[in-house]
Copies of this chain bind each other. A is one copy, B any other.
Amino acid sequence: MRARLSGSVAALAATMLAGVLGTAPAVADDLATLAARVQVLEDREDIRALILAYGQAHDHRDYRTFASLFAANGEWIGGLGTAKGPDAIFALMDKSIGHNPLPNGSGTFHVMTNDQIKIDGDRASSTTKWLYITAAEDNSPKLTYLSHYDDAFVRENGRWRFLKRQSVSDISPLRR
Protein backbone atom coordinates (compact mmCIF):
# COMPACT_ATOMS: atom_id res chain seq x y z
CA MET A 1 0.00 0.00 0.00
CA ARG A 2 2.73 2.42 0.98
CA ALA A 3 4.68 1.36 -2.08
CA ARG A 4 1.63 1.79 -4.27
CA LEU A 5 0.94 5.18 -2.80
CA SER A 6 4.54 6.20 -3.01
CA GLY A 7 4.52 4.95 -6.57
CA SER A 8 1.58 7.05 -7.59
CA VAL A 9 2.80 10.06 -5.65
CA ALA A 10 6.18 9.67 -7.29
CA ALA A 11 4.54 9.38 -10.71
CA LEU A 12 2.46 12.43 -9.98
CA ALA A 13 5.54 14.17 -8.69
CA ALA A 14 7.38 13.35 -11.89
CA THR A 15 4.52 14.70 -14.00
CA MET A 16 4.25 17.84 -11.93
CA LEU A 17 7.99 18.28 -11.99
CA ALA A 18 7.99 18.11 -15.76
CA GLY A 19 5.65 21.10 -15.67
CA VAL A 20 7.67 22.96 -13.09
CA LEU A 21 10.96 22.19 -14.77
CA GLY A 22 9.47 23.32 -18.03
CA THR A 23 8.42 26.55 -16.33
CA ALA A 24 11.35 27.38 -14.13
CA PRO A 25 14.04 27.70 -16.82
CA ALA A 26 11.55 29.55 -19.01
CA VAL A 27 10.84 31.92 -16.12
CA ALA A 28 14.56 32.38 -15.56
CA ASP A 29 15.04 33.08 -19.28
CA ASP A 30 12.17 35.55 -19.32
CA LEU A 31 13.58 37.19 -16.22
CA ALA A 32 17.00 37.57 -17.85
CA THR A 33 15.40 39.06 -20.96
CA LEU A 34 13.36 41.46 -18.87
CA ALA A 35 16.40 42.41 -16.79
CA ALA A 36 18.23 43.29 -20.02
CA ARG A 37 15.35 45.57 -21.04
CA VAL A 38 15.37 47.26 -17.63
CA GLN A 39 19.12 47.75 -17.97
CA VAL A 40 18.61 49.68 -21.21
CA LEU A 41 16.06 51.93 -19.51
CA GLU A 42 18.47 52.53 -16.62
CA ASP A 43 21.33 53.15 -19.04
CA ARG A 44 19.33 55.87 -20.78
CA GLU A 45 18.62 57.57 -17.45
CA ASP A 46 22.26 57.25 -16.40
CA ILE A 47 23.36 58.86 -19.65
CA ARG A 48 20.82 61.66 -19.21
CA ALA A 49 22.24 62.24 -15.73
CA LEU A 50 25.78 62.26 -17.18
CA ILE A 51 24.79 64.89 -19.75
CA LEU A 52 23.24 67.07 -17.03
CA ALA A 53 26.22 66.59 -14.72
CA TYR A 54 28.42 67.89 -17.54
CA GLY A 55 26.26 71.00 -17.94
CA GLN A 56 26.24 71.60 -14.20
CA ALA A 57 30.02 71.20 -13.87
CA HIS A 58 30.50 73.59 -16.81
CA ASP A 59 28.22 76.24 -15.32
CA HIS A 60 29.82 75.80 -11.90
CA ARG A 61 33.29 76.14 -13.42
CA ASP A 62 34.21 72.85 -11.77
CA TYR A 63 36.49 71.40 -14.41
CA ARG A 64 37.82 68.60 -12.18
CA THR A 65 34.31 67.14 -12.04
CA PHE A 66 33.81 68.02 -15.71
CA ALA A 67 36.94 66.10 -16.76
CA SER A 68 36.02 63.11 -14.57
CA LEU A 69 32.93 62.54 -16.71
CA PHE A 70 35.12 61.47 -19.62
CA ALA A 71 36.47 57.96 -20.22
CA ALA A 72 40.21 57.37 -19.84
CA ASN A 73 40.56 57.94 -23.57
CA GLY A 74 37.53 60.21 -23.91
CA GLU A 75 37.75 63.14 -26.28
CA TRP A 76 36.35 66.65 -26.13
CA ILE A 77 36.07 68.52 -29.41
CA GLY A 78 34.67 72.03 -29.66
CA GLY A 79 35.27 75.70 -30.23
CA LEU A 80 38.02 75.80 -27.60
CA GLY A 81 40.04 73.03 -29.25
CA THR A 82 40.44 69.30 -28.85
CA ALA A 83 41.68 67.22 -25.93
CA LYS A 84 41.87 63.52 -25.14
CA GLY A 85 41.69 62.03 -21.65
CA PRO A 86 40.51 63.69 -18.42
CA ASP A 87 43.87 65.36 -17.69
CA ALA A 88 44.14 66.97 -21.10
CA ILE A 89 40.47 67.96 -21.00
CA PHE A 90 40.95 69.58 -17.61
CA ALA A 91 44.04 71.41 -18.89
CA LEU A 92 42.19 72.73 -21.94
CA MET A 93 39.28 74.02 -19.84
CA ASP A 94 41.58 75.40 -17.16
CA LYS A 95 43.60 77.30 -19.77
CA SER A 96 40.53 78.54 -21.67
CA ILE A 97 38.01 79.27 -18.93
CA GLY A 98 39.74 78.66 -15.60
CA HIS A 99 39.01 76.14 -12.88
CA ASN A 100 37.07 78.13 -10.31
CA PRO A 101 34.36 76.05 -8.66
CA LEU A 102 31.28 78.12 -7.91
CA PRO A 103 28.78 75.92 -6.08
CA ASN A 104 26.00 78.44 -6.68
CA GLY A 105 26.82 78.73 -10.34
CA SER A 106 28.55 81.22 -12.61
CA GLY A 107 25.45 82.95 -13.95
CA THR A 108 25.72 81.24 -17.33
CA PHE A 109 23.62 78.23 -18.20
CA HIS A 110 23.93 75.20 -20.42
CA VAL A 111 20.38 73.95 -20.97
CA MET A 112 20.51 70.43 -22.39
CA THR A 113 17.52 69.13 -24.28
CA ASN A 114 16.18 66.78 -26.94
CA ASP A 115 18.59 63.95 -26.21
CA GLN A 116 18.31 61.24 -28.85
CA ILE A 117 20.16 58.48 -27.01
CA LYS A 118 20.74 55.07 -28.56
CA ILE A 119 22.07 52.25 -26.38
CA ASP A 120 24.06 49.35 -27.79
CA GLY A 121 25.36 47.20 -24.92
CA ASP A 122 28.32 49.00 -23.35
CA ARG A 123 28.35 51.70 -25.99
CA ALA A 124 25.83 54.40 -26.72
CA SER A 125 25.48 57.49 -28.87
CA SER A 126 23.40 60.61 -28.78
CA THR A 127 22.70 63.93 -30.33
CA THR A 128 21.66 66.49 -27.73
CA LYS A 129 20.71 70.11 -28.35
CA TRP A 130 22.03 72.72 -25.98
CA LEU A 131 21.08 76.30 -25.41
CA TYR A 132 23.54 78.66 -23.83
CA ILE A 133 21.74 81.30 -21.84
CA THR A 134 23.37 84.34 -20.27
CA ALA A 135 22.15 87.62 -18.80
CA ALA A 136 21.44 90.47 -21.24
CA GLU A 137 22.25 94.08 -20.33
CA ASP A 138 18.84 94.52 -18.71
CA ASN A 139 19.51 91.30 -16.78
CA SER A 140 16.85 89.32 -18.63
CA PRO A 141 17.87 85.87 -19.94
CA LYS A 142 19.32 85.87 -23.42
CA LEU A 143 19.74 82.95 -25.82
CA THR A 144 23.40 83.28 -26.71
CA TYR A 145 24.07 80.09 -28.67
CA LEU A 146 22.09 77.14 -29.94
CA SER A 147 24.35 74.17 -30.56
CA HIS A 148 24.31 70.41 -30.33
CA TYR A 149 26.57 67.72 -29.04
CA ASP A 150 27.37 64.61 -31.03
CA ASP A 151 28.26 62.08 -28.37
CA ALA A 152 29.67 58.61 -28.04
CA PHE A 153 29.49 56.98 -24.61
CA VAL A 154 31.18 53.96 -23.10
CA ARG A 155 30.46 51.98 -19.97
CA GLU A 156 33.78 52.05 -18.12
CA ASN A 157 34.17 50.38 -14.73
CA GLY A 158 30.40 50.07 -14.58
CA ARG A 159 29.75 53.79 -15.14
CA TRP A 160 28.81 55.63 -18.31
CA ARG A 161 31.41 58.11 -19.48
CA PHE A 162 31.87 60.31 -22.53
CA LEU A 163 34.02 58.55 -25.09
CA LYS A 164 33.73 61.44 -27.52
CA ARG A 165 31.83 64.67 -27.12
CA GLN A 166 31.83 67.03 -30.05
CA SER A 167 30.11 70.40 -29.75
CA VAL A 168 28.74 71.68 -33.04
CA SER A 169 27.58 75.29 -33.28
CA ASP A 170 24.18 75.74 -34.92
CA ILE A 171 23.23 79.38 -34.28
CA SER A 172 25.84 81.74 -32.94
CA PRO A 173 26.79 85.38 -33.42
CA LEU A 174 30.40 84.12 -33.36
CA ARG A 175 30.11 82.40 -36.70
CA ARG A 176 32.75 79.68 -36.87
Q: Which residues of B contact A113 (CB under 8 A)?
A: 111-114
A172 at the interface (CB under 8 A from B): yes
Is the pair A171, B133 in contact by a Cβ cutoff of 8 Å? Answer: yes
Is the pair A49, B116 in contact by a Cβ cutoff of 8 Å? Answer: yes
| Partner of A143 from B14, B17, B140 at Cβ < 8 Å | B140
Q: Which residues of B contact A49 (CB under 8 A)?
A: 116
Residue total for A at the interface (Cβ-Cβ under 8 A): 65
Bound together, the chains give a CA A8 to CA B134 distance in angstroms of: 80
| Partner of A10 from B10, B45, B146 at Cβ < 8 Å | B10
Number of copies: 3
Within 8 A of B (CB), among A88-116: 105, 107, 109, 111-114, 116
Is the pair B116, A129 in contact by a Cβ cutoff of 8 Å? Answer: no
Which one of A29-37, A62-70, A72-80, A159-167 is at the interface?
A29-37
State how many angstroms separate the Cβ of A86 from the closest Cβ of chain B: 22
A37-70 interface mask toward B, CB cutoff 8 Å, 1 = contact, 0 = none? 1100110110001001101100000000000000
| Partner of A109 from B6, B52, B171 at Cβ < 8 Å | B171
Residues of A whose CB lies within 8 Å of any CB of B are 2-14, 16-17, 19-21, 23-25, 27-28, 30-31, 34-35, 37-38, 41-42, 44-45, 49, 52-53, 55-56, 105, 107, 109, 111-114, 116, 129, 131, 133-135, 138-146, 170-173, 175
